[in-house]
Amino acid sequence: MEKQLFFFDMDGTLISGVTRKILPSSIQAIESLQKQGHLCFLCTGRSYQMAMEYSDVIHPDGVVFCNGAGIIMDGKMVNSHPIQAEDVESLRRLCSRMCGGLQLLNESFSFQNMLNGFLIRLVYPKKALSLSMQQKQCRKSMVWMNRYHGQDILKADVFFFTKKQADSFFVQMPSGLQAIRTRGKHLHQAEIMVNSISKASGVKKVVEILEVDPANTWCFGDSINDVEMMHVCGHSIAMGNGGSVVKEVADYVTDDNSHDGIAKALEYFGWRL
């Protein structure tokens, strides 16, 4: 069999929504695929360091992070699309003026403004109380915005309380940037990258570097930022807990991320795990 590439979203897909851990069945599945000579990648909106929070249980062959704005393989950055410095400053000014939460991500850190830390505690009180803010920041490579001194930024996440705030922000956002908007339980939020950058562009770049037939690619996802990736992969699987927009474009819908959805999908397609 020709070498296959597998791309796994993390939050909502690889990580259980109940335990916030990677299921043993998923760990076993990834290890089995790798032993068979195939390559497994994380494909996430997280920073690289946030993605590697789970490196004690899985060992990916590479990471497509910040929604495709960065790719690390064999410990080396092989592709990067930073937001222009003036656009980063524009985002900071807009969020400050409009009382929006903001985090700026690169491969190493997530720079948080104070409102973003406040929103984490307000919207997710149980999660916030389970770890001190200092512990949470350390674990996820989060630092306060005063640590930002012009480093390259690959992605920005913004959070607003009202749709009116969010709509006004996106009208004023720099034209060289695009936003993937989502509506959380309590917040209006978005992931912001350079135009034309997405998980799909990241997958395409990995395929180009490794010279693999695009038909030999597999992806797993649950959210709107996974849709473009599903269009370019040869085989696309939506998690049972995913949104309807993802399920509509996927080739197959599996069980949810807390009930062995990844392993069940691979077994459905005939993979020996």
Q: What is the DSSP string of 55-82?
A: TTT---SEEEEGGGTEEEETTEEEEE-P
pTM: 0.93
Would you tell me how many other CB atoms lie within 10 Å of the CB of residue 203?
26
Give 216's DSSP letter: G
In sequence order, what E strands does the chain have?
5-8, 39-43, 62-65, 70-73, 76-80, 101-105, 110-112, 142-144, 155-160, 177-183, 188-194, 217-221, 235-238, 252-253
Q: Do residues 30 and 40 make contact, with C-beta atoms less than 8 angstroms apart?
A: yes
Q: At what angle do helices 85-97 and 163-172 cross, to 10 degrees?
A: 150
Q: Of 13, 78, 89, 16, which is closest to residue 45 (Cα–Cα)?
A: 13
What are 257's two structure tokens? 């991320």
Q: Do residues 199 and 170 make contact, with C-beta atoms less than 8 angstroms apart?
A: no
Q: Read off the amino acid at residue 215.
A: A
Residue 12, phi-psi category: left (phi > 0), alpha (psi -120 to 50), beta (remainder): left
In the block, tokens 């912001």 appear at: 192
Kindly list the structural domains of the chain, giving each domain's residue range(s) and its CATH number in brackets, ordered by start.
5-80+197-268 (3.40.50.1000), 85-194 (3.30.1240.10)
What are 91's two structure tokens? 């985002």
pLDDT tens track, the chain, 273 positions: 899 999 999 999 999 988 889 999 999 999 999 999 999 999 999 999 999 999 999 999 999 999 999 999 999 999 999 999 999 999 999 999 998 999 999 999 999 998 776 666 555 545 444 444 444 544 558 888 999 999 999 999 999 989 999 999 999 999 999 999 987 666 889 999 999 999 999 999 999 999 999 999 999 999 999 999 999 999 999 999 999 999 999 999 999 999 999 999 999 999 988
Q: Read off the amino acid at residue 90.
A: S
Task: Return d(Cα 3, Cα 38) in angstroms, integer.
Answer: 5
Residue 163, phi-psi category: left (phi > 0), alpha (psi -120 to 50), beta (remainder): alpha
Length of the chain: 273
CA distances from 16 to 218, 242, 246 (A): 20, 12, 18
